Protein backbone atom coordinates (compact mmCIF):
# COMPACT_ATOMS: atom_id res chain seq x y z
CA UNK A 1 0.00 0.00 0.00
CA UNK A 2 2.84 2.34 0.96
CA UNK A 3 4.62 1.69 -2.31
CA UNK A 4 1.44 2.40 -4.25
CA UNK A 5 1.00 5.69 -2.38
CA UNK A 6 4.58 6.72 -3.03
CA UNK A 7 4.17 5.83 -6.67
CA UNK A 8 1.05 8.00 -6.89
CA UNK A 9 2.89 10.88 -5.24
CA UNK A 10 5.84 10.58 -7.60
CA UNK A 11 3.65 10.12 -10.70
CA UNK A 12 3.32 13.84 -11.67
CA UNK A 13 7.09 14.24 -11.31
CA UNK A 14 7.80 11.32 -13.64
CA UNK A 15 5.13 12.43 -16.08
CA UNK A 16 6.77 15.88 -16.26
CA UNK A 17 10.22 14.36 -16.71
CA UNK A 18 9.09 11.97 -19.47
CA UNK A 19 7.20 14.75 -21.24
CA UNK A 20 10.24 16.99 -20.91
CA UNK A 21 12.16 14.57 -23.14
CA UNK A 22 9.33 13.28 -25.34
CA UNK A 23 7.85 16.72 -25.86
CA UNK A 24 11.26 18.14 -26.71
CA UNK A 25 11.72 16.13 -29.92
CA UNK A 26 10.04 16.57 -33.29
CA UNK A 27 6.87 14.73 -34.34
CA UNK A 28 8.98 12.74 -36.80
CA UNK A 29 11.22 11.44 -34.00
CA UNK A 30 8.20 10.66 -31.82
CA UNK A 31 6.48 8.60 -34.52
CA UNK A 32 9.72 6.84 -35.51
CA UNK A 33 10.37 6.08 -31.83
CA UNK A 34 6.89 4.60 -31.36
CA UNK A 35 7.11 2.49 -34.53
CA UNK A 36 10.56 1.15 -33.63
CA UNK A 37 9.47 0.42 -30.06
CA UNK A 38 6.37 -1.44 -31.32
CA UNK A 39 8.55 -3.60 -33.61
CA UNK A 40 11.69 -4.04 -31.51
CA UNK A 41 10.29 -4.67 -28.01
CA UNK A 42 8.04 -7.64 -28.99
CA UNK A 43 10.71 -8.82 -31.45
CA UNK A 44 13.45 -8.97 -28.83
CA UNK A 45 11.04 -10.63 -26.40
CA UNK A 46 10.13 -13.27 -28.99
CA UNK A 47 13.82 -13.92 -29.74
CA UNK A 48 14.59 -14.30 -26.04
CA UNK A 49 11.65 -16.66 -25.46
CA UNK A 50 12.37 -18.74 -28.54
CA UNK A 51 16.02 -19.15 -27.65
CA UNK A 52 15.21 -20.16 -24.08
CA UNK A 53 12.67 -22.75 -25.22
CA UNK A 54 14.96 -24.09 -27.97
CA UNK A 55 17.92 -24.40 -25.60
CA UNK A 56 15.88 -26.31 -23.02
CA UNK A 57 14.37 -28.63 -25.63
CA UNK A 58 17.63 -29.23 -27.50
CA UNK A 59 19.55 -29.93 -24.28
CA UNK A 60 16.96 -32.44 -23.16
CA UNK A 61 17.12 -34.12 -26.58
CA UNK A 62 20.92 -34.13 -26.44
CA UNK A 63 20.86 -35.80 -23.03
CA UNK A 64 18.40 -38.46 -24.20
CA UNK A 65 20.41 -39.04 -27.34
CA UNK A 66 23.63 -39.32 -25.32
CA UNK A 67 22.08 -41.90 -23.00
CA UNK A 68 20.69 -43.88 -25.96
CA UNK A 69 24.00 -43.86 -27.86
CA UNK A 70 25.99 -44.78 -24.74
CA UNK A 71 23.60 -47.67 -23.93
CA UNK A 72 23.81 -48.90 -27.49
CA UNK A 73 27.59 -48.79 -27.45
CA UNK A 74 27.65 -50.53 -24.05
CA UNK A 75 25.36 -53.29 -25.27
CA UNK A 76 27.18 -53.84 -28.47
CA UNK A 77 30.67 -53.79 -26.92
CA UNK A 78 29.98 -56.37 -24.20
CA UNK A 79 30.82 -59.38 -26.38
CA UNK A 80 33.72 -57.69 -28.08
CA UNK A 81 35.18 -56.85 -24.67
CA UNK A 82 34.76 -60.36 -23.44
CA UNK A 83 36.63 -61.79 -26.40
CA UNK A 84 39.03 -58.83 -26.31
CA UNK A 85 38.34 -57.88 -29.94
CA UNK A 86 40.04 -54.49 -30.00
CA UNK A 87 39.65 -54.09 -33.73
CA UNK A 88 35.90 -54.72 -33.52
CA UNK A 89 35.62 -52.28 -30.64
CA UNK A 90 37.43 -49.51 -32.52
CA UNK A 91 35.22 -50.07 -35.56
CA UNK A 92 32.11 -49.96 -33.41
CA UNK A 93 33.21 -46.64 -31.94
CA UNK A 94 34.20 -45.15 -35.33
CA UNK A 95 30.92 -46.23 -36.97
CA UNK A 96 28.81 -44.89 -34.11
CA UNK A 97 30.56 -41.53 -34.23
CA UNK A 98 30.28 -41.39 -37.99
CA UNK A 99 26.52 -41.82 -38.02
CA UNK A 100 25.92 -39.40 -35.23
CA UNK A 101 26.73 -35.77 -35.86
CA UNK A 102 26.48 -34.68 -32.23
CA UNK A 103 28.90 -37.29 -30.88
CA UNK A 104 32.24 -35.64 -30.15
CA UNK A 105 34.00 -38.66 -28.69
CA UNK A 106 33.46 -42.22 -27.41
CA UNK A 107 35.73 -44.33 -25.30
CA UNK A 108 35.56 -47.58 -23.41
CA UNK A 109 37.17 -48.39 -20.11
CA UNK A 110 37.63 -51.90 -18.81
CA UNK A 111 36.58 -53.00 -15.32
CA UNK A 112 39.84 -51.67 -13.89
CA UNK A 113 39.33 -48.28 -15.45
CA UNK A 114 42.00 -48.73 -18.17
CA UNK A 115 41.26 -47.28 -21.61
CA UNK A 116 40.46 -50.04 -24.05
CA UNK A 117 39.33 -48.11 -27.13
CA UNK A 118 38.67 -44.41 -27.99
CA UNK A 119 38.04 -42.07 -30.86
CA UNK A 120 40.62 -39.42 -30.05
CA UNK A 121 43.26 -40.72 -32.44
CA UNK A 122 46.57 -39.70 -30.87
CA UNK A 123 46.63 -38.04 -27.47
CA UNK A 124 43.77 -39.10 -25.25
CA UNK A 125 42.90 -36.27 -22.77
CA UNK A 126 43.69 -38.08 -19.52
CA UNK A 127 41.73 -35.63 -17.37
CA UNK A 128 38.55 -37.26 -18.79
CA UNK A 129 39.31 -40.34 -16.72
CA UNK A 130 38.85 -38.42 -13.51
CA UNK A 131 35.49 -36.91 -14.24
CA UNK A 132 32.03 -38.44 -14.46
CA UNK A 133 33.14 -41.67 -12.83
CA UNK A 134 30.25 -44.06 -12.44
CA UNK A 135 29.28 -45.09 -8.89
CA UNK A 136 28.32 -48.76 -8.52
CA UNK A 137 24.80 -49.86 -9.44
CA UNK A 138 23.98 -46.68 -11.37
CA UNK A 139 22.22 -47.12 -14.73
CA UNK A 140 23.90 -44.01 -16.20
CA UNK A 141 25.36 -40.63 -15.29
CA UNK A 142 25.27 -37.47 -17.32
CA UNK A 143 27.60 -34.53 -16.64
CA UNK A 144 28.19 -31.29 -18.53
CA UNK A 145 31.87 -30.57 -19.16
CA UNK A 146 33.34 -27.24 -20.12
CA UNK A 147 35.68 -27.34 -23.09
CA UNK A 148 37.18 -24.98 -25.63
CA UNK A 149 34.37 -25.89 -28.05
CA UNK A 150 31.66 -25.15 -25.50
CA UNK A 151 29.73 -27.50 -23.28
CA UNK A 152 30.06 -31.25 -23.86
CA UNK A 153 27.56 -33.63 -22.29
CA UNK A 154 29.45 -36.61 -21.03
CA UNK A 155 27.37 -39.78 -20.50
CA UNK A 156 28.71 -42.80 -18.67
CA UNK A 157 26.91 -46.19 -18.93
CA UNK A 158 28.09 -49.44 -17.28
CA UNK A 159 28.90 -52.38 -19.57
CA UNK A 160 27.46 -55.68 -18.43
CA UNK A 161 26.37 -54.15 -15.13
CA UNK A 162 29.81 -52.61 -14.69
CA UNK A 163 31.54 -55.97 -14.58
CA UNK A 164 33.00 -55.54 -18.12
CA UNK A 165 33.76 -51.81 -17.86
CA UNK A 166 32.23 -48.44 -18.77
CA UNK A 167 31.19 -46.82 -22.03
CA UNK A 168 31.61 -43.02 -22.19
CA UNK A 169 30.09 -40.83 -24.87
CA UNK A 170 30.57 -37.07 -25.22
CA UNK A 171 27.99 -35.04 -27.14
CA UNK A 172 28.91 -31.53 -28.21
CA UNK A 173 26.48 -28.60 -27.93
CA UNK A 174 28.17 -26.89 -30.91
CA UNK A 175 25.68 -28.16 -33.58
CA UNK A 176 22.78 -27.16 -31.30
CA UNK A 177 24.17 -23.61 -30.99
CA UNK A 178 24.77 -23.47 -34.70
CA UNK A 179 21.11 -24.15 -35.48
CA UNK A 180 19.82 -21.87 -32.66
CA UNK A 181 22.05 -19.05 -33.92
CA UNK A 182 20.91 -19.67 -37.49
CA UNK A 183 17.25 -19.38 -36.38
CA UNK A 184 18.07 -16.22 -34.38
CA UNK A 185 19.86 -14.67 -37.35
CA UNK A 186 16.84 -15.41 -39.50
CA UNK A 187 14.46 -13.72 -37.06
CA UNK A 188 16.80 -10.73 -36.62
CA UNK A 189 16.97 -10.38 -40.38
CA UNK A 190 13.17 -10.49 -40.66
CA UNK A 191 12.86 -7.94 -37.87
CA UNK A 192 15.35 -5.66 -39.57
CA UNK A 193 13.35 -5.82 -42.77
CA UNK A 194 10.11 -5.11 -40.85
CA UNK A 195 11.83 -2.25 -38.99
CA UNK A 196 13.04 -0.72 -42.25
CA UNK A 197 9.53 -1.01 -43.69
CA UNK A 198 8.18 0.54 -40.48
CA UNK A 199 10.67 3.40 -40.64
CA UNK A 200 9.76 3.96 -44.28
CA UNK A 201 6.04 3.97 -43.49
CA UNK A 202 6.55 6.24 -40.46
CA UNK A 203 8.70 8.65 -42.47
CA UNK A 204 6.06 8.83 -45.15
CA UNK A 205 3.36 9.35 -42.53
CA UNK A 206 5.27 12.12 -40.75
CA UNK A 207 6.08 13.77 -44.04
CA UNK A 208 2.39 13.68 -44.95
CA UNK A 209 1.46 15.07 -41.55
CA UNK A 210 4.15 17.64 -40.95
CA UNK A 211 4.41 19.17 -44.39
CA UNK A 212 1.02 20.94 -44.24
CA UNK A 213 1.60 21.73 -40.57
CA UNK A 214 4.97 23.38 -41.28
CA UNK A 215 3.32 25.30 -44.10
CA UNK A 216 0.69 26.49 -41.60
CA UNK A 217 3.39 27.53 -39.12
CA UNK A 218 5.18 29.61 -41.77
CA UNK A 219 1.90 31.22 -42.77
CA UNK A 220 0.84 31.91 -39.20
CA UNK A 221 4.13 33.75 -38.72
CA UNK A 222 3.48 35.93 -41.74
CA UNK A 223 -0.08 36.60 -40.58
CA UNK A 224 1.41 37.52 -37.21
CA UNK A 225 3.51 40.13 -39.01
CA UNK A 226 0.34 41.65 -40.46
CA UNK A 227 0.19 40.02 -43.90
CA UNK A 228 -3.47 39.00 -44.28
CA UNK A 229 -3.37 38.42 -48.03
CA UNK A 230 -2.44 34.74 -47.68
CA UNK A 231 -4.31 31.49 -47.58
CA UNK A 232 -3.24 27.84 -47.54
CA UNK A 233 -3.99 25.36 -50.29
CA UNK A 234 -6.43 22.72 -49.03
CA UNK A 235 -4.36 19.59 -48.59
CA UNK A 236 -6.90 16.78 -48.36
CA UNK A 237 -10.38 16.00 -47.14
CA UNK A 238 -9.20 15.05 -43.66
CA UNK A 239 -8.47 16.57 -40.24
CA UNK A 240 -5.50 18.50 -41.62
CA UNK A 241 -7.74 19.84 -44.38
CA UNK A 242 -10.27 20.92 -41.74
CA UNK A 243 -7.48 22.69 -39.83
CA UNK A 244 -6.40 24.48 -43.01
CA UNK A 245 -10.01 25.53 -43.68
CA UNK A 246 -10.33 26.89 -40.15
CA UNK A 247 -7.03 28.72 -40.58
CA UNK A 248 -8.13 30.25 -43.87
CA UNK A 249 -11.42 31.36 -42.32
CA UNK A 250 -9.54 32.92 -39.43
CA UNK A 251 -7.20 34.81 -41.76
CA UNK A 252 -10.16 36.03 -43.84
CA UNK A 253 -11.86 37.25 -40.68
CA UNK A 254 -8.69 39.00 -39.56
CA UNK A 255 -8.42 40.58 -42.99
CA UNK A 256 -12.00 41.88 -42.78
CA UNK A 257 -11.47 43.13 -39.24
CA UNK A 258 -8.30 44.90 -40.33
CA UNK A 259 -10.09 46.51 -43.28
CA UNK A 260 -12.90 47.66 -40.99
CA UNK A 261 -10.39 49.05 -38.53
CA UNK A 262 -8.54 50.92 -41.26
CA UNK A 263 -11.83 52.29 -42.61
CA UNK A 264 -12.90 53.46 -39.15
CA UNK A 265 -9.51 55.02 -38.63
CA UNK A 266 -9.85 56.87 -41.93
CA UNK A 267 -13.34 58.11 -41.05
CA UNK A 268 -12.18 59.20 -37.61
CA UNK A 269 -9.32 61.11 -39.17
CA UNK A 270 -11.64 62.77 -41.66
CA UNK A 271 -14.13 63.58 -38.95
CA UNK A 272 -11.44 65.17 -36.83
CA UNK A 273 -10.27 67.28 -39.74
CA UNK A 274 -13.86 68.29 -40.43
CA UNK A 275 -14.46 69.18 -36.79
CA UNK A 276 -11.34 71.33 -36.71
CA UNK A 277 -12.26 73.00 -40.01
CA UNK A 278 -15.83 73.59 -38.78
CA UNK A 279 -14.52 75.17 -35.59
CA UNK A 280 -12.34 77.50 -37.64
CA UNK A 281 -15.27 78.41 -39.91
CA UNK A 282 -17.42 79.08 -36.88
CA UNK A 283 -14.77 81.40 -35.43
CA UNK A 284 -14.46 83.21 -38.76
CA UNK A 285 -18.23 83.64 -38.89
CA UNK A 286 -18.39 84.98 -35.33
CA UNK A 287 -15.43 87.31 -35.96
CA UNK A 288 -17.11 88.56 -39.10
CA UNK A 289 -20.41 89.02 -37.37
CA UNK A 290 -18.81 90.81 -34.42
CA UNK A 291 -16.84 93.04 -36.77
CA UNK A 292 -19.52 93.70 -39.35
CA UNK A 293 -22.77 93.72 -37.41
CA UNK A 294 -21.73 94.57 -33.84
CA UNK A 295 -19.05 97.03 -34.97
CA UNK A 296 -21.46 98.73 -37.27
CA UNK A 297 -24.24 98.82 -34.70
CA UNK A 298 -21.95 100.31 -32.02
CA UNK A 299 -20.53 102.85 -34.56
CA UNK A 300 -24.03 103.95 -35.54
CA UNK A 301 -25.00 104.20 -31.83
CA UNK A 302 -21.96 106.46 -31.24
CA UNK A 303 -22.89 108.59 -34.26
CA UNK A 304 -26.53 108.68 -33.13
CA UNK A 305 -25.53 109.83 -29.64
CA UNK A 306 -23.69 112.78 -31.20
CA UNK A 307 -26.82 113.50 -33.27
CA UNK A 308 -28.96 113.45 -30.13
CA UNK A 309 -26.75 116.11 -28.59
CA UNK A 310 -27.17 118.30 -31.66
CA UNK A 311 -30.91 117.75 -32.09
CA UNK A 312 -32.62 121.09 -32.80
CA UNK A 313 -35.90 120.33 -30.97
CA UNK A 314 -36.90 118.07 -28.03
CA UNK A 315 -39.22 116.18 -30.42
CA UNK A 316 -36.30 115.53 -32.76
CA UNK A 317 -34.21 114.41 -29.80
CA UNK A 318 -36.93 112.02 -28.72
CA UNK A 319 -37.18 110.58 -32.26
CA UNK A 320 -33.38 110.07 -32.52
CA UNK A 321 -33.29 108.38 -29.07
CA UNK A 322 -36.00 105.97 -30.21
CA UNK A 323 -34.03 105.10 -33.36
CA UNK A 324 -30.95 104.50 -31.22
CA UNK A 325 -32.91 102.20 -28.88
CA UNK A 326 -34.06 100.15 -31.87
CA UNK A 327 -30.47 99.78 -33.13
CA UNK A 328 -29.30 98.75 -29.62
CA UNK A 329 -32.19 96.21 -29.32
CA UNK A 330 -31.28 94.72 -32.72
CA UNK A 331 -27.65 94.40 -31.64
CA UNK A 332 -28.63 92.78 -28.33
CA UNK A 333 -30.77 90.27 -30.22
CA UNK A 334 -27.86 89.36 -32.51
CA UNK A 335 -25.56 88.90 -29.50
CA UNK A 336 -28.07 86.56 -27.88
CA UNK A 337 -28.38 84.51 -31.06
CA UNK A 338 -24.65 84.30 -31.41
CA UNK A 339 -24.26 83.14 -27.81
CA UNK A 340 -27.03 80.57 -28.27
CA UNK A 341 -25.44 79.18 -31.41
CA UNK A 342 -22.12 78.88 -29.65
CA UNK A 343 -23.55 77.06 -26.71
CA UNK A 344 -27.07 77.33 -25.42
CA UNK A 345 -26.81 78.87 -21.95
CA UNK A 346 -30.05 77.11 -21.10
CA UNK A 347 -28.27 73.77 -21.31
CA UNK A 348 -25.98 74.69 -18.43
CA UNK A 349 -28.62 76.56 -16.45
CA UNK A 350 -31.75 74.46 -16.75
CA UNK A 351 -30.62 71.22 -18.34
CA UNK A 352 -31.19 69.21 -21.48
CA UNK A 353 -34.97 69.15 -21.80
CA UNK A 354 -35.59 72.91 -21.58
CA UNK A 355 -32.68 73.57 -23.94
CA UNK A 356 -34.05 71.09 -26.48
CA UNK A 357 -37.55 72.57 -26.15
CA UNK A 358 -36.15 75.99 -26.85
CA UNK A 359 -34.18 74.72 -29.81
CA UNK A 360 -37.22 72.87 -31.17
CA UNK A 361 -39.43 75.93 -30.99
CA UNK A 362 -36.83 78.04 -32.81
CA UNK A 363 -36.43 75.29 -35.39
CA UNK A 364 -40.20 75.07 -35.89
CA UNK A 365 -40.38 78.80 -36.43
CA UNK A 366 -37.48 78.83 -38.83
CA UNK A 367 -38.35 75.84 -41.02
CA UNK A 368 -42.08 75.67 -40.48
CA UNK A 369 -41.93 72.00 -39.40
CA UNK A 370 -44.05 70.96 -36.45
CA UNK A 371 -41.58 69.80 -33.79
CA UNK A 372 -42.54 68.20 -30.44
CA UNK A 373 -40.31 67.30 -27.47
CA UNK A 374 -41.40 64.68 -24.94
CA UNK A 375 -39.38 63.70 -21.84
CA UNK A 376 -40.17 60.63 -19.70
CA UNK A 377 -38.45 59.61 -16.49
CA UNK A 378 -36.09 62.57 -16.53
CA UNK A 379 -37.70 64.51 -13.70
CA UNK A 380 -35.37 65.16 -10.81
CA UNK A 381 -32.20 63.95 -12.53
CA UNK A 382 -29.53 65.79 -14.47
CA UNK A 383 -27.31 64.02 -16.92
CA UNK A 384 -23.57 64.66 -16.93
CA UNK A 385 -22.53 67.77 -18.93
CA UNK A 386 -20.78 65.60 -21.55
CA UNK A 387 -23.88 63.48 -22.09
CA UNK A 388 -26.13 66.54 -22.20
CA UNK A 389 -24.08 68.17 -24.94
CA UNK A 390 -23.82 64.83 -26.76
CA UNK A 391 -27.60 64.41 -26.85
CA UNK A 392 -28.05 68.06 -27.77
CA UNK A 393 -25.63 67.84 -30.71
CA UNK A 394 -27.07 64.51 -31.93
CA UNK A 395 -30.60 65.94 -31.93
CA UNK A 396 -29.29 69.09 -33.59
CA UNK A 397 -27.68 67.07 -36.40
CA UNK A 398 -30.80 64.92 -36.82
CA UNK A 399 -32.97 68.00 -37.08
CA UNK A 400 -30.55 69.73 -39.47
CA UNK A 401 -30.58 66.66 -41.72
CA UNK A 402 -34.38 66.48 -41.58
CA UNK A 403 -34.61 70.13 -42.60
CA UNK A 404 -32.06 69.65 -45.40
CA UNK A 405 -33.22 66.35 -46.89
CA UNK A 406 -36.38 64.87 -45.40
CA UNK A 407 -38.95 67.26 -46.77
CA UNK A 408 -41.13 66.42 -43.77
CA UNK A 409 -43.99 68.08 -41.93
CA UNK A 410 -43.62 66.70 -38.46
CA UNK A 411 -40.71 65.72 -36.22
CA UNK A 412 -41.01 64.08 -32.82
CA UNK A 413 -38.22 64.02 -30.23
CA UNK A 414 -38.69 61.58 -27.35
CA UNK A 415 -36.26 61.28 -24.42
CA UNK A 416 -36.73 58.48 -21.92
CA UNK A 417 -34.81 57.10 -18.95
CA UNK A 418 -35.76 53.54 -18.05
CA UNK A 419 -33.75 50.85 -16.23
CA UNK A 420 -30.83 53.28 -16.08
CA UNK A 421 -30.69 53.57 -19.85
CA UNK A 422 -31.29 56.83 -21.68
CA UNK A 423 -32.94 56.51 -25.07
CA UNK A 424 -33.45 59.38 -27.45
CA UNK A 425 -35.63 58.91 -30.52
CA UNK A 426 -35.83 61.51 -33.29
CA UNK A 427 -38.41 60.61 -35.90
CA UNK A 428 -39.43 62.51 -39.02
CA UNK A 429 -42.19 61.71 -41.49
CA UNK A 430 -40.17 62.70 -44.53
CA UNK A 431 -39.01 60.88 -47.63
CA UNK A 432 -36.33 58.72 -45.96
CA UNK A 433 -33.17 57.47 -47.61
CA UNK A 434 -31.16 54.34 -48.41
CA UNK A 435 -28.84 53.99 -45.41
CA UNK A 436 -26.74 51.23 -46.97
CA UNK A 437 -25.93 53.39 -49.97
CA UNK A 438 -25.03 56.42 -47.87
CA UNK A 439 -22.84 54.42 -45.47
CA UNK A 440 -21.13 52.70 -48.40
CA UNK A 441 -20.29 56.05 -49.98
CA UNK A 442 -16.71 55.17 -48.98
CA UNK A 443 -13.54 57.24 -49.02
CA UNK A 444 -13.89 60.80 -50.10
CA UNK A 445 -17.50 61.00 -48.93
CA UNK A 446 -18.29 64.38 -47.49
CA UNK A 447 -21.19 63.13 -45.38
CA UNK A 448 -19.86 63.00 -41.88
CA UNK A 449 -22.96 64.01 -39.92
CA UNK A 450 -24.20 60.44 -39.37
CA UNK A 451 -20.68 59.26 -38.62
CA UNK A 452 -20.24 62.09 -36.10
CA UNK A 453 -23.49 61.14 -34.33
CA UNK A 454 -22.34 57.56 -33.98
CA UNK A 455 -18.89 58.62 -32.85
CA UNK A 456 -20.35 60.86 -30.13
CA UNK A 457 -22.67 58.04 -28.98
CA UNK A 458 -19.80 55.57 -28.74
CA UNK A 459 -17.66 58.03 -26.82
CA UNK A 460 -20.41 57.97 -24.18
CA UNK A 461 -20.41 54.16 -24.17
CA UNK A 462 -23.70 54.08 -26.06
CA UNK A 463 -24.99 53.12 -29.49
CA UNK A 464 -26.65 54.95 -32.33
CA UNK A 465 -28.89 53.34 -34.89
CA UNK A 466 -30.70 54.80 -37.85
CA UNK A 467 -33.78 53.32 -39.44
CA UNK A 468 -34.96 54.66 -42.72
CA UNK A 469 -36.59 53.57 -45.90
CA UNK A 470 -37.18 55.59 -48.98
CA UNK A 471 -40.66 57.02 -48.70
CA UNK A 472 -41.34 56.24 -45.05
CA UNK A 473 -39.38 58.64 -42.87
CA UNK A 474 -36.25 58.38 -40.79
CA UNK A 475 -35.76 57.45 -37.14
CA UNK A 476 -32.58 57.99 -35.15
CA UNK A 477 -32.16 55.92 -31.96
CA UNK A 478 -29.56 56.88 -29.41
CA UNK A 479 -29.09 54.62 -26.37
CA UNK A 480 -26.66 55.33 -23.53
CA UNK A 481 -26.37 53.33 -20.29
CA UNK A 482 -26.38 55.73 -17.35
CA UNK A 483 -23.87 54.14 -14.96
CA UNK A 484 -21.72 57.26 -14.80
CA UNK A 485 -23.56 59.93 -16.73
CA UNK A 486 -25.99 60.93 -14.06
CA UNK A 487 -25.98 63.49 -11.26
CA UNK A 488 -28.60 64.88 -8.87
CA UNK A 489 -30.61 67.83 -10.20
CA UNK A 490 -29.49 70.87 -8.27
CA UNK A 491 -31.89 73.23 -10.06
List residues binding ligand ATP (CB under 6 A): 401-402, 405-406, 428, 430-433, 438, 447-450, 474
Nearest to Mg ion of 130, 437 (CB atom): 437
Contact 93, 108 (CB under 8 A): yes
| Residues contacting Mg ion: total by CB under 5 A | 2
CB of 448 to Mg ion, least distance (A): 8
Query: CA 478, 479, 484, 487 torsion: positive or negative?
Result: positive
CB of 372 to ligand ATP, least distance (A): 16
Contact 228, 255 (CB under 8 A): yes
CB of 482 to ligand ATP, least distance (A): 26
Nearest to ligand ATP of 93, 408 (CB atom): 408
77 binds Mg ion (CB under 5 A): no
Q: Nearest 5 degrees, angle CA 64-CA 56-CA 74? A: 15
Nearest to Mg ion of 202, 466 (CB atom): 466
Paired strand residues for 98: none
Give the whole-angstrom CA distance, residue 158 versus residue 100: 21
Q: Which does 406 bind (CB under 5 to 8 A by kind): ligand ATP, Mg ion, none?
A: ligand ATP
Nearest to ligand ATP of 94, 264 (CB atom): 264
Q: Which does 202 bind (CB under 5 to 8 A by kind): ligand ATP, Mg ion, none?
A: none
Spell out, one character per residue from 441 to 470, where the chain touches Mg ion: x when CB under 5 A holds, - when not: --------x---------------------
Angle between helices 174-224 and 239-289 (to 10 degrees): 20
CB of 260 to ligand ATP, least distance (A): 19
Categorise residue 25: left if φ over 0, alpha if ψ from -120 to 50, beta otherwise: beta
Contact 140, 132 (CB under 8 A): no
Q: Which does 191 bind (CB under 5 to 8 A by kind): ligand ATP, Mg ion, none?
A: none
φ, ψ of residue 459 to 5 degrees: the values are -60, -30
What's CA 185's distance to the chain center, in Å? 48
Given 102, 390, 401, 468, the residue binding Mg ion (CB under 5 A): 401
End-to-end CA gap in the chain = 81
Paired strand residues for 158: 166
Contacts of 269 (CB under 8 A, 6+ apart): none
DSSP sequence for 39-86? HHHHHHHHHHHHHHHHHHHHHHHHHHHHHHHHHHHHHHHHHHHHTT-H
Q: Which does 448 bind (CB under 5 to 8 A by kind): ligand ATP, Mg ion, none?
A: ligand ATP
CB of 295 to Mg ion, least distance (A): 32
CB of 301 to ligand ATP, least distance (A): 37
Nearest to ligand ATP of 124, 405 (CB atom): 405
CB of 318 to ligand ATP, least distance (A): 49
CB of 259 to ligand ATP, least distance (A): 21
Nearest to ligand ATP of 62, 399 (CB atom): 399
CB of 432 to Mg ion, least distance (A): 15
Q: Which does 232 bind (CB under 5 to 8 A by kind): ligand ATP, Mg ion, none?
A: none
Angle between helices 174-224 and 27-82 (to 10 degrees): 180
Q: Which does 195 bind (CB under 5 to 8 A by kind): Mg ion, ligand ATP, none?
A: none
Tell me, letter by letter, the H, E, C secondary structure of 253-298: HHHHHHHHHHHHHHHHHHHHHHHHHHHHHHHHHHHHHHHHHHHHHH
* CA neighbor of 324 nearest in space, from 297, 307, 301: 301
CB count, 10 Å around CB of 33? 13
155's enclosing H/E stretch is strand 150-159
Q: Which does 405 bind (CB under 5 to 8 A by kind): ligand ATP, Mg ion, none?
A: ligand ATP
Choices 67-75, 202-210, 239-247, 399-407; region in contact with Mg ion by CB under 5 A:
399-407
Q: Which does 383 bind (CB under 5 to 8 A by kind): ligand ATP, Mg ion, none?
A: none
CB of 369 to Mg ion, least distance (A): 16
Nearest to Mg ion of 202, 399 (CB atom): 399
Nearest to ligand ATP of 166, 474 (CB atom): 474
Q: Which does 430 bind (CB under 5 to 8 A by kind): Mg ion, ligand ATP, none?
A: ligand ATP
Q: Which does 173 bind (CB under 5 to 8 A by kind): Mg ion, ligand ATP, none?
A: none
CB of 337 to ligand ATP, least distance (A): 21
* CA neighbor of 60 nearest in space, from 144, 126, 121, 138: 144
Contact 488, 395 (CB under 8 A): no
Question: Could you list the residues that contact Mg ion (CB under 5 A)?
Answer: 401, 449
Amino acid sequence: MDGLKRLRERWPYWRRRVWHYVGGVSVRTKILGIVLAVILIPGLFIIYQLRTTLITTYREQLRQEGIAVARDVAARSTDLLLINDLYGLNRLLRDTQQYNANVRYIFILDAKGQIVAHTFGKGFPLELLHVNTLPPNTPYRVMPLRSEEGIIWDVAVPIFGGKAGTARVGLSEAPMWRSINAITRQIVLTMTVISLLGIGAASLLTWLLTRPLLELVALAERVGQGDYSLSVRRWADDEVGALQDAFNRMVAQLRRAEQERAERERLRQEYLERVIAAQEDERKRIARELHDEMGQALASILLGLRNVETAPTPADQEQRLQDLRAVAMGALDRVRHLAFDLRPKLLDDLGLVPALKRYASMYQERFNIETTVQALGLDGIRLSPELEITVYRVVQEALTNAAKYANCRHISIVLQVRNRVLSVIVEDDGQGFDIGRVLKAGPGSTHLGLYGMRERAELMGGTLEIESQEGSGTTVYLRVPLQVHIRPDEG
